[in-house]
Structure 1
């Protein structure tokens, strides 16, 4: 067994124990696949992690930037109380339509709303009061999204950002790879921001080699 196969096998093992098959989530993946959406949603284990983070801070209002087909939206929506609210921003109308189907299938219409538009514009139009912001959109926009996420979060709130290692490309981001450049700039901004305490978790497994950033707004 190669090292890559081992990482994938362990990831599958972890998922089988802590993020077992779920009919709604399985249908979400299949619905997105049939619609031709890129298969870049978080893994089951990553979904469980963001769910737990939202639960642990008692999140009532969550903002997601980058909806895709709604897979991570379901994980986050399930973490909220009955009267909680999740806003998720998606640029592509076709993706937003698929996400709305998935949200309905999950029975989360009362607490999850898909907003169509450019992420930065929509974030600027929102008022502060969020408990958690999950970034999973275009990485070249992450530094600008970070500024808005800070503005929107309460003290003690969390910023969680996916895909911030880029298979190690952040070590020497190429000028022709805007995603690696954006992720590296985002990581540097997290590390140097006196208002945040943060870490990047390097991850390997069925989604390849990447990382998840977690930052807390200081009280």
Structure 2
């Protein structure tokens, strides 16, 4: 969501600072990669870290590693011995994100997969306390339907970009990414076995709790 720059600065000035490793990752992602805005930002990353630390999950599943910013934030809330399983479709990002997991001191907590989440998740033996969805927007509903079966009771699912630059307000859109988000939001709205709330953080974050 668009935010007044002065208000954004105020929020940053009154929040815990971004640590040097994440700051370096943010800069290098913007220098080296196309579509750097896919990266989780500082305030959103801090929000994810806070949620993870409050939930203290034993297991986390993430769809959409990109360069690893969100995985680092989420991994910091794991219980001792806990693991984060992160999936990225682009194999060219594997070693880059791994290098930052090492720098951040969370490499031993993170297990990386390359491929489609729909193919990988059903083969995992683990059930999850926390899930983070930030992959292909056209496939959000598919991701959810696979993940919800793997969630522990009272587990949390976090979905990013659910406001999609306010484009979700255009119900007549033919853009496939926007349609994917709209269909996901409407599907979640009708679910009765979960609690859910949309927060206007960055591009919209939905927090879902399995009852």
TM over 0.5: yes
- CA distance change for structure 1 residues 147 and 5 in 2, over 3 Å: closer, same or farther? closer
Looking at structure 1, the residues matched to 192 and 42 of structure 2 have their Cα atoms a distance apart, in angstroms, of 33
Matched ranges for 1:157-196 at <5 A: 157-196=155-194
Alignment gaps of 5+ in structure 1: 205-209
Once the two structures are overlaid, the 10-residue window that deviates more, 175-184 or 146-155, is: 175-184
Check the 8 A contact 1:135/1:161 in 2, yes or no.
Answer: yes
SS at structure 1 position matched to 2:107: coil
Pick one of 81, 84, 103 that aligns with 1:83. 81
Matched ranges for 1:30-179 at <5 A: 30-39=27-36, 40-179=38-177
- Spell out structure 1 runs of 4+ moving beyond 4 A: none
Alignment gaps of 5+ in structure 2: none
Q: What root-mean-square deviation, in Å, do the aligned CA atoms of Structure 1 and Structure 2 show? A: 1.8
Check the 8 A contact 2:60/2:84 in 1, yes or no.
Answer: yes
Check the 8 A contact 2:67/2:97 in 1, yes or no.
Answer: yes
Please report the TM-score for the alignment, with normalisation by the length of structure 2.
0.92
- CA distance change for structure 1 residues 5 and 41 in 2, over 3 Å: closer, same or farther? closer
Offset of residue 37 of structure 1: 4.0
Please report the TM-score for the alignment, with normalisation by the length of structure 1.
0.89
Looking at structure 2, the residues matched to 6 and 189 of structure 1 have their Cα atoms a distance apart, in angstroms, of 28
- CA distance change for structure 1 residues 46 and 6 in 2, over 3 Å: closer, same or farther? closer
Pick one of 15, 19, 43 that aligns with 2:12. 15
